[in-house]
Amino acid sequence: MNKPKLELQVNIPATIKLLMDKPVTGSNAYGNWYLFGVEHEGQEYSFFATEDVAKFAEENNLRKGDSVKVTKTFVKVGKKNQTSYQMEIVNKAHPASIGIGQANGNGNGQTLDDYRVMHDCLAQGIKLQQDLGSVIDVNRIAITLFITRTKAKNGSYLNY
């Protein structure tokens, strides 16, 4: 059964909770689309968001369980009104899930959520093996991805 589409009212903030880590994406005649599963006022909805919303979620490392306040607005583009969303983080359900290069807030410098990073690397290694057949070593791919993602831009490893 499909979830109903979330219809936000213009200029009225709504707090939503993400029900997935990343949006489902695709494209059609109108361009790219980004579909988030969300919860609003105790009910599950499908939220078709703009590219800006998807970028905001990615840049702020938003994950399943995180809550954001969304305000739908219209922006005049030529003679047409274009939908825009103002986003504000309300609650991070997983404060330990700090992204690469973000301070942990306790003065100890930079940190990583090793489990999440390694999990993602292993999942992507398995996906590569499925896509390419059994010709690759999942462990080596996952380790390579992990090292690449945890290495600072200056060539040294992040301290955590």
> Quick one: pLDDT at residue 103?
40
Protein fold of 14-91: OB fold (Dihydrolipoamide Acetyltransferase, E2P) (2.40.50)
> Which residue, 117, 118, 116, 140, is CA-closest to 128?
140
Looking at the chain, which residues constitute the CATH 2.40.50 domain(s)? 14-91
Whether 95 contacts 57, CB under 8 Å? no
d(CA 88, CA 14): 10
Which pLDDT tens digits describe the chain residue by residue (160 residues)?
588 999 999 999 999 999 999 999 999 888 889 999 999 999 999 999 999 999 999 988 899 999 999 999 988 888 888 888 999 988 887 654 444 444 444 343 444 466 677 778 788 888 877 777 767 787 888 888 888 877 755 554 454 4
